[in-house]
Amino acid sequence: MRVIMLVDMDYFFAACEELKKPELKGKPVVVGADPKGGNGRGVVSTCNYEARKYGIHSGMPISTAYRLKSDAVFLPVDEKYYYETSARIMDILKGFASKFEQVSVDEAFMDVSDKVGSYEAALAYANVIKDRILSETKLPCSIGIGTNKLLAKTACEAVKPNGIKLVREEEAKIFLAPMPVGKLYGVGKKTEERLEEMGYKKVEDLQKADLNRLVGLFGTFGAEMQRHAKGIDYDEVSENYEVKSIGREHTFENDTADLDEIIGALKASAAGVIHDVKQQGFSFKTVTIKIRYADFSEHLKGRSLRRYSNSLEDIENTAIALFEGYADKGERIRKIGVRVSGLLAYSGQKKLADYIHA
Please say if 107 is a catalytic residue.
Answer: yes
Are the C-beta atoms of residues 336 and 292 closer than 8 Å to each other? yes
Catalytic residue among 107, 169, 253, 331: 107
What's the min distance (Å) between Cβ of 18 and ligand DCP?
12
User: Per rule CB under 6 A, is residue 50 in the interface with ligand DCP?
Assistant: no
CA distance 354 to 281: 12
Q: Given the complex with ligand DCP, which of 106 and 224 has the nearer CB atom?
A: 106
Tell me the residue number closest to Ca ion, measured at CB: 107
Q: Angle formed by the axes of helices 220-229 and 211-218, to 10°?
A: 130
What's the min distance (Å) between Cβ of 142 and ligand DCP?
7
Q: Given the complex with ligand DCP, which of 46 and 283 has the nearer CB atom?
A: 46
- Report which residue type is found at 151: L
The DSSP secondary-structure symbol of 60 reads S
Among 6, 11, 195, 336, binds ligand DCP (CB under 6 A): 11
The DSSP secondary-structure symbol of 170 reads G
CA distance 60 to 42: 9
Contact letters for ligand DCP, residues 292-311 (x by CB under 6 A)? --xxx---------------
Q: Which of residues 212-241 bind ligand DCP (CB under 6 A)?
A: none
Among 27, 40, 58, 300, binds ligand DCP (CB under 6 A): 58
Q: Is there a cis peptide before residue 161, judged by omega within 30 degrees of 0?
A: yes
What's the min distance (Å) between Cβ of 302 and ligand DCP?
24
Non-local CB neighbours of 336 within 8 Å, separated by 6+ positions: 249, 250, 252, 262, 265, 266, 269, 289, 290, 291, 292, 323
The 10 Å Cβ neighbour count of residue 95 is: 9
CA distance 122 to 133: 17
Letter string b/e over residues 158-185, b meaning 16 or more CB atoms within 10 A of that residue's CB: bbbeebbbbbeeeebeebbbebebeebb
Among 7, 13, 130, 203, binds ligand DCP (CB under 6 A): 13
Q: Given the complex with ligand DCP, which of 24 and 287 has the nearer CB atom?
A: 24
The DSSP secondary-structure symbol of 164 reads E
User: Per rule CB under 6 A, is residue 160 in the interface with ligand DCP?
Assistant: yes
Site residues (vs Ca ion, CB under 5 A): 8-9, 12, 104, 106-107
What's the min distance (Å) between Cβ of 295 and ligand DCP?
3
Are the C-beta atoms of residues 305 and 323 closer than 8 Å to each other? no
Q: Given the complex with Ca ion, which of 106 and 224 has the nearer CB atom?
A: 106
Q: Angle formed by the axes of helices 259-279 and 312-327, to 10°?
A: 150
| Among the residue ranges 105-113, 249-257, 279-287, 325-333, the one whose residues contact ligand DCP (CB under 6 A) | 105-113
CA distance 124 to 120: 6
User: Per rule CB under 6 A, is residue 46 in the interface with ligand DCP?
Assistant: yes
User: Per rule CB under 6 A, is residue 4 in the interface with ligand DCP?
Assistant: no
- Partner in contact with 296, chosen from ligand DCP, Ca ion, none, beta carbon below 5 to 8 Å by kind: ligand DCP
Residues making contact with ligand DCP (CB under 6 A): 8-13, 45-46, 58-59, 105-107, 160-161, 294-296
Q: Give me the active site residues, please.
A: 107
